[in-house]
Amino acid sequence: MILSTLAITEVNCAPFQDQRPGTAGLRKKVSVFRQPHYLECFVQAIFDTLKLPQGARLVIGGDGRYHNTEAIQTIIRIAAANGLREVVVGQHGLLSTPAASLVIRKYGAAAGFILTASHNPGGPDGDFGLKFNSPTGGQATEQVTEAVFRASQQLTGYRIADLPPVDLARTGHTRLGELAIQVIDPAADYTALMQQLFDFDAIRDWLKSGHRVRFDAMHAVTGLYARRILVDLLGCPPDSILHGESLPDFGGLHPDPNPIDAAGLVAESMRADSADLLAASDGDGDRNMILGPEFFLSPGDSVAMMLASLQQIPGYRSGVPGVARSMPTSRALDVVAARLGIPCYETPTGWRFFCNLLEAGLIGLCGEESFGTSSAHVREKDGLWAVLFWINLLAARRCSLKDIASQHWRTYGRHHYQRWDYYTADTARANELVAALRSALPGLRGRQYGDVRIESADDFHYRDPVDGSESAHQGIRLVLGNGSRIVYRLSGTGTTGATLRVYLERHVHDEASINSSGSEILAPLGNLAAELARIHEFIGANAPTGMI
């Protein structure tokens, strides 16, 4: 169907009061996004804020969760009504978050819309989300997301074009009047980039010699990428991919690659016939979990070991100018960076804080404790990239994942690390807990608890070294004199209630402590953290609701 002109309708409606984006866009229940005018108003607020030039190009794609394709059709119609004239969209409406970042950069798009609630559950009763990325492929800055929220509060309506549904099942070009639409293979550009970064021939040889990989796509978007790369190009058997079919409800799974929600994969790693590397990614493909036979690799250790091993990966043999980690993440990366003589930046939680550093060329590798790792190849965290990095490293080193970790710890010491989560439905009490702890900080400095002294206590304040922007109240840090650290932070990724995340870390060097379990080393620290924050008093919890 060819339209000579676009018919545009002005729809009047009242603004919604709950459209403040969080650390990675706006996340709400599907039922909230399906309210009349809700999605339309939020998208209009984005366009009103970004003020994209007439005729600009837009990239759209998502993780395939429930309401994904319907939302894409709506966004295309609003984009057309707001003067955009080119839309690039993934086939079937699919693009993993890292692939979308790559496509935005490659196609020179003015912006990108990624439809995802990341690792949150899907389905009609699950979560939905929408985030918007800049021309760099990175997440919108905090200043921009706040401006969008302000715009959402001032809306009196939105503009929408009268267009027929776009056929997302077929790749190719379509024109609807003044609007040009290109439906692309969602995995093609990403696959080509991975072939440039990693030694696929060495990986094939490693696999042919009897080594095996097991990847859990969790019925999310990375299934199609894993089939294309692991099976079609590298020669893994098809059954190397677990839960490979992308489903709108993720098959009832919670698509979060961690030892709790991917317990089946953890159980596989404990079997006598375990694969050499087991891995999982999340709903939109930006997180990763790495396992070996009877071994779990923590995200903080993973990025530190990546930095120590860059010379063995073709795309990274020239090294990196610097690295970065989010503040709650283990300081294992700092130790390796110091040995290499490169800077290690400490940022607030949220991938957007890495983007300025990447764009300025200050860093080339970054990671966060919530199973996110990436490099300068895109401006988002990248789950499958991390998996391929570790496969390539195993192929180069010709030893087990556990052996690589053991050798690393003997060189740099080991940062035992855990995250204790305390969920409460009472968000107000959680906020009161943090406020009380914040006010107690001056009195905590220098206090002695048994044989441990609190050396410093602060509320992390970040000043961006690139643009000078400031972000306050990014997490409470307690540094102890025995190489330990406690961090408190309220999570910003859920849609209901609140989760107090308590991060526990202790750096050890002696062999006995290195070989001890994290639970054994960190239990006293966790008890002290609960006591200092008066967790039971504020939210009634006697123990964490989850430990990772």
3-state percent breakdown (helix, strand, coil) of the chain, nearest 5: 35, 25, 35
Q: Which two tokens stand for residue 83?
A: 């003067």
How many C-beta atoms surround the C-beta of residue 201 within 10 A?
10
Element (H, E) at 48: helix 38-50
d(CA 181, CA 170): 12
Measured distance CA(101)–CA(109) in Å, rounded: 10
Strands (E), 107-212: 111-115, 127-133, 157-161, 172-176, 179-184
Beta strands in 470-538 (DSSP E): 470-471, 476-480, 484-490, 498-508
Phi, psi (deg, nearest 5) at residue 458:
-150, 170
Are 478 and 485 within 8 A, CB to CB?
A: yes
Active-site choice (118, 330, 370, 374): 118
Q: What is the Cα 516 distance to its own chain's centre?
A: 30
Distance CA 306, CA 397 (A): 13
Q: How many CB atoms lie within 10 A of CB 519?
A: 11
Retrieve residue 347's tokens: 């940022």
For residues 47 and 60, what is the distance between their CA atoms, to the nearest angstrom? 14
Q: Using CA atoms, how far apart are residues 112 and 469, in angstroms rounded to an integer?
A: 23
Q: Is the separation of the CB atoms in 386 and 392 below 8 Å?
A: no
Q: Is 26 helix (H, G, I), strand (E, B) or coil?
A: strand
| Strand duo 179-184 + 86-94: pairing | parallel
Place of tokens 């556990």: 402
Q: Are strands 277-281 and 288-292 parallel, antiparallel or unpaired?
A: antiparallel
Report the residue count for the chain: 548
Report the C-alpha gap between 258 and 438 in whole angstroms: 30
User: Quick one: 439 exposed, middle or buried, by C-beta within 10 A (0-12, 13-18, 19+)?
Assistant: exposed
Is residue 118 among the annotated active site residues?
yes
Q: What is the Cα–Cα distance from 388 to 236, expressed in whole angstroms?
A: 13
Q: Which of 155, 62, 65, 175 is nearest to 114 (CA)?
A: 62
Query: For residue 19, which of 27, 30, 10 has the smallest C-alpha distance?
Result: 27
Could you tell me the end-to-end alpha-carbon distance of the chain, in angstroms, rounded to an integer?
Answer: 53
Where in the sequence numbering do the catalytic residues fall? 118
